[in-house]
Structure 1
Amino acid sequence: MPTLVLVDGSSYLYRAFHALPDLRTSRGEPTGAIRGVISMLRRLVEDGKPDYFAVVFDAPGKTFRDDWYPQYKANRSPMPDNLTLQIEPLHELIRVHGWPLLMVEGVEADDVIGTLARQAEAQGIDILISTGDKDLAQLITPRVTLVNTMSNERLDVENVAAKFGVRADQLLDLQALTGDSIDNVPGVAKVGPKTAAKWLAEYGTLDNLIAHAGDIGGVVGENLRAALEWLPQGRRLLTVKTDCTLPFAPTALAVKPRDAAKLRELYDRFEFKAWMKDVEADAAQASSPALSTGAPGPATEPVPALARNYETVLDSWAFERWVESIDNAELVSFDIETTSLDPLQARIVGLSFAIEPGRSAYIPVAHRYAGAPTQLALDTVLARLKPWLENPSKKKLGQNIKYDQHVLANYGIKLAGVAHDTLLQSYVLESHRSHDMESLAYRHLDLKTMSYAEVAGKGAGHIGFDQVAVEKAAAYAAEDADITLRLHRTLRAKIVADAKLDFIYSKIELPTREVLFRMEREGVLIDREILSAQSRVLGERMLSLEEQAFQAAGQ
């Protein structure tokens, strides 16, 4: 599915300003907020490679909510001068990167985001809203997810209740009851999220709660009845509008090529030296003969189609043929599809193998939906593969292969011969980036892979992998094994080119992986006496330091 990423720029501007120190250039220009926001945006675009993308800011001036309620946001302090100085340069940097920047006069950024989200949703587009503002959580649906890039917290229909105590469709009513002190919108006096969630669990909606306000006893009941006249207005103020008239559509928000020359100039001005190297390739490309003569260069050439020769193994003859191919291959990428993310509880649904780029197979063994094809028996498959899996001379590759090792251990198989892990390779090369396969394929292979949600659904429509149609499961699982092999060839070459990175990967990360597996599998022995003695020593030291502090303070 195509994806639209909408960034709440106003939210991140303030958060970056307060989260980072007062960074300045050698000439004294403040840059902390600029650096923080641009860093976050770069990560969103480079890791996710969304189909559509926009950064949304509040436009200067009042909005319709100020007409509804003159005290709206009246309690906010003026923007600090050091932050004001960074706004225009930040906007310029965003535009130069080629990222659509949106500001609509008279409309708050939240309402622009809400309108675009609903328009995109109607067009079958998945939406990721990047924000630190809880108000936007009311937009969450099976197609709309929130992510806080600064804390890496994701909110979707499945985990909203765990965080707020109510369903996504009840969040607006919850906010109306509790109020929003930041926007100066009062709620019911002395009613917090727990009480509001309790009421909504019993009455379902704010309107129904209002209808039964006389049933609520105690002081909070009196406070609720005192607020009955205000609550509809409070809810109106807190509602993110999703029907604003906008001069652009979601599908018009594609990322454009960045202006390398201007970007170099701005990076130099703000002394973002670590990012300067990223524009070197652009500058070289702009001056190449191919581009100067109008010939298509690498950036404009279409990405070649992914060559695929994927097979679904359903009979013994095909299985034996693949066992022979696997046994003869120099390096085999493999992956296991299971019933659970918990490797110690997971049961095998199928296995996939890739022996060369574009050539892989999926062996389903436990798809259990009505009409599922006859599959090979799991016991038979594992018994036949066990000699290869436990042979240390047969080199194996995986993406987070420690998970697969745990799953195999559940069946009494001791995996040996693990030669490489693309998750560890990615971590060694770029520890600050996302390491999931979808992101890695985007960054290093320029390929968009099938997501798990496309196969198994999400939210209320999620199903277990054993319920996924074999044809769809095979396409997903075989691609996983194939992409892992392709990624290995790219990532391994980069690691080998740097002796220090190669040492970290080969001598530290890979051996440690096996140690961690054993620790997770068997646990760790604890010497209670030593820990108890250490606790006493630390406690005595703390008391001593506390006494010294009191003496130094003259108390």
Structure 2
Amino acid sequence: MKDTIYLFDGSAFIFRAFFATPRLTNSEGFPTNALYGFTRMVLKFLRDVAPQHALMVFDAGAKTFRNEIYKEYKANRSECPEDLVPQMPHFRTISKALGFPVVELPGYEADDIIGTLTKALTALSHNVVIVSADKDLMQLVTDKVSMWDTMRDKRYGPDQVVEKLGVWPEQVIDYLAIAGDSSDNIPGLKGAGPKTAVQLVTKYGSVENILNAVSEIREDKSIRSRNKIAETLEGAEEILKLSKELVTIRCDAPVEFTHLVEELGEPLPSRSEELEL
């Protein structure tokens, strides 16, 4: 088995750092709280783990293919906080200064890049640790791929995904498609929350199988509100297939990854000093 590769969900770390760190500015009044919090999180990881290989993955910031197929995707989210906007360009610089190769790709989310890298790296016999708390990424977990929420120091293998969501990693896509996700504005099945999604996916499997089992579901006394669920399913094929497409992480993004797996090297804090972090 080759070395373990750590894939950082950098975009998620940015927002965590911004909201967890009180407002700070440098001597010129430039806001630095997110940069400070982000740098502290990453430095702690480097000190605690001392990884041989790690990559930092960011959203490119523009709209993605998901916005093209569903205009309401993430439309419910607020604008980027005013104090965070001027800090955004510097996270890439700091990541590189700390030794991380940085990966982002217009038209794709960080999740898709992580999915693509994970598939490629495991094919090369690497273990992968995804450093994130994003439940969507749990669909990538296998015996070779784990997730690590460093803020809560919680690690997720297949068994821990079941404990968290009630389904196995290979069922997460269908679970999310049924349950929906208000944070991403994923519609899901109207009236079916996480508990119903777990019941349906555990018993019937995929979205496609669930849509083909309406008659059985109507008679299934183990399903909560079975008549209402069955009635809703009868007109839900289009929205459920859309939801499934939206929550499915792409593992075929056009990422050139071979040059990204390199030695971490020594931290180079010059840019963080310039920003007075």
TM-score between the two structures when normalised by the length of structure 1: 0.46
Of 268, 273, 276, 1:271 maps to 276
Instruction: Report the AA paired with residue 109 of structure 1.
Output: A
Asked whether 1:221 is paired with 2:249, we answer no
Question: Using the alignment, how far apart are the partners of 1:267 and 1:185 within structure 2?
Answer: 38
Question: Using the alignment, how far apart are the partners of 2:256 and 2:272 within structure 1?
Answer: 31
Question: Using the alignment, how far apart are the partners of 2:17 and 2:173 within structure 1?
Answer: 27
Question: Are the equivalent residues in 2 in contact too, given 1:214–1:225 (CA < 8 A)?
Answer: no
Question: Are the equivalent residues in 2 in contact too, given 1:52–1:250 (CA < 8 A)?
Answer: no
Asked whether 1:240 is paired with 2:263, we answer no
Name 2:50's counterpart in structure 1: 49
Name 1:94's counterpart in structure 2: 95
Which has the greater radius of gyration? Answer: 1
Name 2:120's counterpart in structure 1: 119
Question: Are the equivalent residues in 2 in contact too, given 1:116–1:249 (CA < 8 A)?
Answer: no
Question: What CA RMSD, in Å, does the superposition of the two structures yield over aligned residues?
Answer: 1.7
Question: Using the alignment, how far apart are the partners of 2:212 and 2:51 within structure 1?
Answer: 45
Following TM superposition, by how much is the alpha carbon of 1:26 offset from its aligned partner in structure 2, in angstroms? 4.0
| Secondary structure of 1:229's aligned partner | helix
TM-score between the two structures when normalised by the length of structure 2: 0.90
Instruction: Report the AA paired with residue 247 of structure 2.
Output: L
Following TM superposition, by how much is the alpha carbon of 1:118 offset from its aligned partner in structure 2, in angstroms? 0.8
Question: Using the alignment, how far apart are the partners of 2:130 and 2:7 within structure 1?
Answer: 5
Name 2:223's counterpart in structure 1: none
Task: Provide, for residues 69-123 of structure 1, a one-character-per-residue CA deviation record: whole Å limited to 9, x for no partner.
Answer: 2222222221011011111222211111221111112221110000000111111
Asked whether 1:3 is paired with 2:10, we answer no
Unaligned runs of 5+ in 1: 273-555
Question: Using the alignment, how far apart are the partners of 1:160 and 1:102 within structure 2?
Answer: 26
Following TM superposition, by how much is the alpha carbon of 1:250 offset from its aligned partner in structure 2, in angstroms? 7.1
Question: Are the equivalent residues in 1 in contact too, given 2:136–2:247 (CA < 8 A)?
Answer: yes
Task: Provide, for residues 515-535 of structure 1, a one-character-per-residue CA deviation record: whole Å limited to 9, x for no partner.
Answer: xxxxxxxxxxxxxxxxxxxxx
Name 2:263's counterpart in structure 1: 254
Sequence identity of aligned pairs in percent? 36
Question: Are the equivalent residues in 1 in contact too, given 2:54–2:261 (CA < 8 A)?
Answer: no
Structure 1 or 2: more helix by fraction: 1
| Secondary structure of 2:6's aligned partner | strand
Question: Using the alignment, how far apart are the partners of 1:242 and 1:45 within structure 2?
Answer: 27
| Secondary structure of 1:180's aligned partner | coil
Instruction: Report the AA paired with residue 112 of structure 2.
Output: D
Name 1:22's counterpart in structure 2: 23
Question: Using the alignment, how far apart are the partners of 1:267 and 1:51 within structure 2?
Answer: 22
Question: Are the equivalent residues in 1 in contact too, given 2:55–2:261 (CA < 8 A)?
Answer: no
Question: Using the alignment, how far apart are the partners of 1:36 and 1:90 within structure 2?
Answer: 11
Question: Are the equivalent residues in 2 in contact too, given 1:52–1:251 (CA < 8 A)?
Answer: no
Question: Using the alignment, how far apart are the partners of 2:185 and 2:41 within structure 1?
Answer: 29
Following TM superposition, by how much is the alpha carbon of 1:184 offset from its aligned partner in structure 2, in angstroms? 1.5
Asked whether 1:13 is paired with 2:14, we answer yes
Following TM superposition, by how much is the alpha carbon of 1:221 offset from its aligned partner in structure 2, in angstroms? 2.2
Name 1:65's counterpart in structure 2: 66
Following TM superposition, by how much is the alpha carbon of 1:223 offset from its aligned partner in structure 2, in angstroms? 2.0
* Count of residue pairs the alignment pairs up: 268
Task: Provide, for residues 216-271 of structure 1, a one-character-per-residue CA deviation record: whole Å limited to 9, x for no partner.
Answer: 23222222223222111210111001112212227634324444xxx24x343443
Following TM superposition, by how much is the alpha carbon of 1:204 offset from its aligned partner in structure 2, in angstroms? 2.4
- What is the 5 A alignment of 1:129-208? 129-208=130-209
| Secondary structure of 2:7's aligned partner | strand
Question: Using the alignment, how far apart are the partners of 1:229 and 1:89 within structure 2?
Answer: 41
- What is the 5 A alignment of 1:72-471? 72-216=73-217, 217-249=226-258, 252-259=261-268, 263-264=269-270, 266-272=271-277
Question: Using the alignment, how far apart are the partners of 2:262 and 2:96 within structure 1?
Answer: 12
Instruction: Report the AA paired with residue 88 of structure 1.
Output: P
